[in-house]
Amino acid sequence: MESTETRRWHRRGLLIALGAAVTAIALALGMGATAYAATLFSDDFEDGNATGWTASGGSWTVATDGSRVYRQSGTSSDARSIAGTTSWSNYSVQATVKPTAFNGSNRFVALLARVQSNTSYYYLALRSNNTVELKRLTGGSSTTLDTASVSVSVGTTYTLRLDVNGSNLQGYVNGTLLAEGTDSQYATGRIGVATFNASANFDNVLVSSGGVDPTPTNPTPTNPTPTPTTPTPTPPTNPGPNVADGWASVNAWGQNGTTGGAGGPTVTVTSASQFITEAASAGPKIIQVNGMIALPGPMHEVSSDKTIVGVGANSGFTGGGLNIGLPIDNAVTAPPANAVHNVILRNLNFRDWADDAVNVQMFSHHVWVDHNTWTTGVDGGVDVKRGSSYVTISYNHADGTDKNMLLGHDDDNAAQDVGRLKVSYHHNFFDNTNQRNPRIRFGDQVHVYSNYYLNTGNYGVAATEDSGVIVEGNYFEGVDDPYHLGEASSGDGRLVARNNCFVNSGAGQTGGSVTDPPYAYTIGTACDTKATVLAQAGVGKVGVPGGPTNPPTTPPATTPPPTTPPATTPPPTSGPQTGLIGWATQNGGTTGGAGGQTVTVTDGQALADALESSSPLTIRVQGSLSLPDTMNDVRSNKTVLGVGTNATLDNGLNVSSATNVIIRNLTFRGWDDDAINVQGSRNVWIDHNTFDGGYDGAVDVKRESDFVTVSWNRVTNHTKSMLLGHDDGHTADVGHLRVTYHHNWFDGSRERHPRVRFGDPVHVFNNYYFGADYGVASTMGAGVLVEGNYFENVTRPTAVGYAESDPGDLVERNNVFVNSGAPESAGDVAAVPYPYTADAANSVKSVVTAGAGAGRINP
């Protein structure tokens, strides 16, 4: 080992200035069993951006070197950029690499595999001393597994390839095996590129499953070449990247697969008049939508053989929607020769539409609606009806839509719909949508798989009017009614459910049998679906179809499983720690109402009265209670304890000038001020609660409060999570605000996890952060120890200083960063005085998601 590498690599305080939509990109794949190699990821940077990559150190840009390349131009330190997903196991990663400068002797450029973090991975390094080395980096210290001689020159392009299969590792230079070894330290992980005191251009990155030889250079996805039409559907091969899968891939009705505008000209539109003209024009065409276009509304026609694709992450339509289909004619009961067909809609935002965002009607067929985002409008997000068929709706983000996806016009439309409405819905994010995800009439072999349902208000999937629906491999979270038969006045359909994952959700209703669809597909582990979908679904995750793009791809094909439902995939399980640790153990400890009476309350006024009692009490809260005030005072020596899994409060608790208070196992929903406010109080333990969307803070601690532990809570559907310290002018907080935050799940909350003023030392350990703008901020001279946390899709995991507040000290150690920016740190932080045992950071995600929130303990 060499001294220049065995030191811990310094992570410079570089903020990767990515928006939340970009940092959410992981290109994660729920990998199932595969019979052959498939492309997991490719990027040749011809789209002009590095979407999907997370850089740390150095100076990374997409530049021109003949073609577009990913350039690292700094030579003063180490630098790396990472892409892909942590679940990748056996694969081959390849890239072309051109060193452009070495700052000293024995410097290198490298290709990374099975990346755990910025300081732990395998790598294949081309060194300036004319060697290639296969190495393992663990916590910043390297171990050489093999080495060989090779000529290394500045300005020369090399093809590096690193294969990882089980414990076997092989490194290739220009197609020749030069380094190999065995090591079992890392079983899965992402890919990356790196330099050490060197600059370089990286290009043509390709990841293939199974360790099968990748294509040598310039892997560009292509659309399939049409083959002679067959009169009945036939199972195609796995379509691969940038090609429609599911029902849209099946050859039928005179159309082979769905290729959109492939083969036609490419035009770019920036105005409504341009778009309306091009979308309705005859012949194949790729229409690039640049920017948000205000359509005059309500619906605008799209003709056959069109690809309509948004440029970047901020293009699409407001005010109006797209109609794919002929005018309505109830007398037409079979597919007409002029039915609209072969249409692709990708990477588009839809907002405030006046009718539907997308309507597919009148026997339209071979339509692919993929990687779009829609918010709210007058009617449906994507409706498919009146005999339309061979449609795939994939990787979309439906954000808060009420009537989301209708399949089938009405109960009286059997003449057009029976035997048709064959649609695949997969890898969509139904994000607080209310209903119709989808609602199905008549369609048979409707396939709903690998979607993520979050807090669906009314129901998920409804099978009605003798439709046949397969619901498999989905992740239902906070969904009381995942799927059922019949809906409103519509009769029952048939529904088969298998291998779904349920988290805080009800049981679905099934009945009847359904034949499997004829195409090949893969179902990953259902309880991994959430992470996969969150990383991939929605706008901004793909480039322009027909060009060099890098869309997330459906895994390789496997034989569809039998219709007999196997055992349901259980959600992750892990026994949560339930004992008090942290700052609330100090200053005499925190026991709440121990030693006093125990009372049970079932209405809000009774709870408010008990909270204000001067005596020690254990107050058991049963059911959903409406509190009398926006903030309800809690006096000293109280334990407030939810009974079971459904104890819910609609407003907040104010722990003011109190001592010795415990609040556990409650759900706070829709509060009008704070859910819990702690001010001027000592020895408070807030544990195993769920905070599900409200006006202001979830848990705010301020005004000289001290000796507080906030543990095993979940914050979801909320923005401002946990404030510590009132404001920059409240210097009376100096010497107070000693708080421990551990094993909390910050589930899509945007900020304040916590935002710290003055408190020192504050201890933040073993929390799971997902999808935040920032994680922990240390300001106004605070001292914050951040250790053993798991940051996923967090733009700024740790921040020194925030907004107008001056910086504090922050020490970060042993954290895991997945698709996140670089952490910031500064200064020193005093040791905490209490004993604790931190979980390994790489286990925190599974431990916390299994144990955090209300309903996970039985006190």
CA distance 730 to 87: 46
For 468, how many CA atoms within 13 A lie in the half-sphere containing its CB? 13
CA 467 to centroid of chain Cα atoms: 31
Strands (E), 15-75: 39-43, 54-56, 60-65, 67-72
Q: Are 663 and 683 a contacting pair, CB within 8 Å?
A: no
CA distance 223 to 210: 24
Q: Which residue has the tokens 């209708």?
A: 406
Strand 158-165 relative to strand 168-173: parallel, antiparallel, unpaired? antiparallel
In single-letter form, the type of residue at position 671 comes to W
Contacts 24+ apart (CB under 8 A), 660-663: 660/590, 660/591, 660/592, 660/636, 661/590, 661/592, 661/634, 661/636, 661/637, 661/685, 662/590, 662/591, 662/592, 662/593, 662/638, 662/687, 663/634, 663/687, 663/689
* Residues paired with residue 242 on neighbouring β-strands, in sequence order: none
CA distance 19 to 354: 29
Q: Are 808 and 786 a contacting pair, CB within 8 Å?
A: no
For 472, how many CA atoms within 13 A lie in the half-sphere containing its CB? 25
Rg of the chain over CA atoms, in angstroms?
Answer: 28
CA angle at 526 for the pair 476 and 348, rounded to the nearest 5°: 70
Q: Are 158 and 97 a contacting pair, CB within 8 Å?
A: yes
CA distance 742 to 712: 7
**How crowded is residue 547: how many other Cβ atoms within 10 Å of its Cβ?**
16
CA distance 700 to 681: 12
Select from 369, 347, 359, 345 the least CA-distant residue to 291.
347
Q: What are phi and psi of 490, to 5 degrees?
A: -80, 140
> Among 68, 436, 752, 856, which one carries the catalytic annotation?
752
Tokens read off for 130: 């004319």
Tokens read off for 409: 């016009």
In single-letter form, the type of residue at position 848 comes to V
What separation in angstroms does the CA of 474 have from each of 426, 450, 483, 500?
A: 9, 4, 11, 5
The CA-based dihedral angle spanning residues 277, 278, 281, 286, taken in that order and rounded to the nearest 10 degrees: -170
CA distance 851 to 821: 26
CA distance 779 to 208: 45
Q: Are 240 and 552 a contacting pair, CB within 8 Å?
A: no
Tokens read off for 33: 């069993």
CA distance 528 to 792: 14
CA distance 789 to 849: 13
Residue 71 annotated among the catalytic residues of the structure: no
Residues with a known catalytic role: 752
